[in-house]
Amino acid sequence: MRNRLKANIGPNKRACSPNQGFTARRWLHVRSRQALSALVAALFLTATLAPAPAHAAIVRIKDIVDYEGIRDNQLVGYGLVVGLNGSGDRLTNTIFTRETLIGMLNRLGVNIRDRQIQLQTHDVAAVMVTATLPPFSHGGGRIDVTVSAAGDARDLTGGTLLVTPLQAADGEVYAVAQGSLVTNAFSAAGAGASVSQNIPTSGHIANGAVVEREVPVSLGSGGLIHLSLRNPNFTTATRIVDAINHSIARNMARVEDPRTIAVNLYGRDPAQTLFRIGDLTIEPDTMAKVIVDEASGTIVMGDNVRISTVAIAQGNLTIQITETPQASQPGPFSNGTTAILPRTQINANTGNSQRLGILREGPTLASLVSGMNALGMGPRDMISILQAIKADGALQADLEVR
């Protein structure tokens, strides 16, 4: 028996003693525990690195608020554009263009007012010049201007704007504009057709105005700065206050109303404080609202829009009329005349193929959109159905129709 056991072991294998067998089993047990630990670690690492569920967008505070006292100022002026290729105002029709041209020539030393001269030029156009003066603009800086025809000029392409003072609402001149216009438009006409692109009676001058007067901006007067939310919301305002008080100083900010947040500087530098506040990030809250534009058939829904379970049946009466007149020719060698025979075909669709569908309540916007698409509705149908759902009280959002 011993020899048979030895023969089964073979020349290249050794018999294991009882102690050696226990060591092998213990080694296998240790290896199994190591493999299990590695598997758990891999699963934990996978769960850690897995993408998190989608949440609302994280934005910087400076992207959703305006600072009190820091704003743009609108400028406007009236001037003349010269150098047009016969596409300017007709002076016999636009009296203000003729009077403006005569007054400008008089200021330049050319007196034609007392002479019986009939101006016939078509290369001049009266224009309105508009610009936006940004905050912290200093004297000598340049801003863009927009030039628009005020008379019956057909095209301002290639014209030059003469010196035009730009005033603000207080009547003071804050900038002076002058330069060559760019309209980015063209038009071509022939004997039987014409084509045009963009608006040739409105042009743009990049850096076309020089700032002459500064608008003073006082930051933190009285040791207080107000932040104004562009979309008023109590939740968003509270989150901004919490971020400021947690990151900069306690009790530094407070909510005054859904739009306004008051920030106490406590003797800090206003510019440095606004810089730190602007880079803080929060998760803004959005209102549940549905915007409907009936003219274009556009529907915009927020992520918080919900609809309770409702049943919808939608069908329309469609009448299609097709006219296919036919010509009836007289027989050969006859004195008859050709006659037009009317052929009218009318098809009426009462919507009998439509069925009653159930739009179930969904936890997300995606489920709501999928449910409405499953009913086979187009944008126009969705608008009328959303209005009916709102009237029924099943739309848990504000419906704004434009």
In terms of residue numbers, what domain contains 255?
221-282
**Is residue 119 located within the same domain as residue 207?**
yes
Helix H or strand E encompassing 84: none
Does any domain span residue 246?
A: yes
% helix / strand / coil in the chain, to the nearest 5?
25, 30, 45
Q: Residue 312: what pLDDT? A: 65
Same domain, 248 and 312: no
Q: What is the pLDDT of residue 52?
A: 40
Indicate whether 229 belongs to any domain. yes
Q: Which residue has the tokens 């003349």?
A: 80
R_g (Cα) of the chain, nearest Å: 39
- Identify the pLDDT of residue 277: 93
Q: Which of 247, 263, 282 is the last residue of a domain?
A: 282
Residue 121: predicted pLDDT: 85
> Given this model, what pLDDT does residue 9 score?
39
Q: What is the pLDDT of residue 344?
A: 65
Q: Considering Cα of 79, then 84, then 88, then 92, what sign does the dihedral take?
A: positive
Burial class from Cβ neighbours inside 10 Å (0-12, 13-18, 19+) for residue 86 reads exposed
- The β-bridge partners of 145 are 131, 205
Stated length of the chain? 402
Residues of the chain with pLDDT under 50: 1-54, 317, 319, 363
- Please state, in angstroms and rounded to a whole number, the distance separating the CA atoms of residues 386 and 362: 15
Same domain, 126 and 177: yes
- Residue 57: the pLDDT is 78
The pLDDT score that the predictor gives to residue 244 is 94
Pairing of strands 357-359, 202-211: unpaired
Give a yes or no: residue 179 inside a domain.
yes
What φ, ψ does residue 241 adopt, rounded to 5°? -60, -45
Same domain, 318 and 368: yes
Q: Is residue 42 part of a domain?
A: no
Q: Please indicate, yes or no, whether residues 382 and 349 belong to a single structural domain of this protein.
A: yes
Do 107 and 131 fall within a single domain?
yes
Complete DSSP assignment for 138-194? -TT-EEEEEEEE-SS-S--TT-EEEEEEEE-TTS-EEEEEEEE-B---EEEE-SS-E
Q: Would you say residue 191 lies in a domain?
A: no
In a domain, residue 261? The reply is yes
Q: Do both 351 and 320 map to the same domain?
A: yes
Note the pLDDT tens digit of each residue in 144-159.
999 999 999 989 998 9
Structurally, how many domains does the chain consist of? Answer: 3
- On whether both 86 and 162 belong to a single domain, the answer is yes
3-state secondary structure at position 190: coil
3-class SS of residue 261: strand
Q: Which of 282, 300, 318 lies at the terminal end of a domain, its last residue?
A: 282
Residue 263 φ/ψ, nearest 5 degrees: -120, 120
The token pair at 149 is 């025809």
Within-domain flag for 4: no
| Tokens (6 digits) for 185 | 């438009």
Task: Give SS3 for 331.
Answer: coil
Do 204 and 90 sit in the same domain of this protein? yes
pLDDT of residue 387: 81
- Residues with Cβ within 8 Å of 49's Cβ and at least 6 positions away in sequence, in order, are none
Specify if 336 maps to a domain. Answer: no
- On whether the CB atoms of residues 65 and 230 are closer than 8 A, the answer is yes
Q: Is 11 helix (H, G, I), strand (E, B) or coil?
A: coil
User: 276 and 380, same structural domain?
Assistant: no
What's residue 351's pLDDT?
56
Both 274 and 310 in a single domain?
no
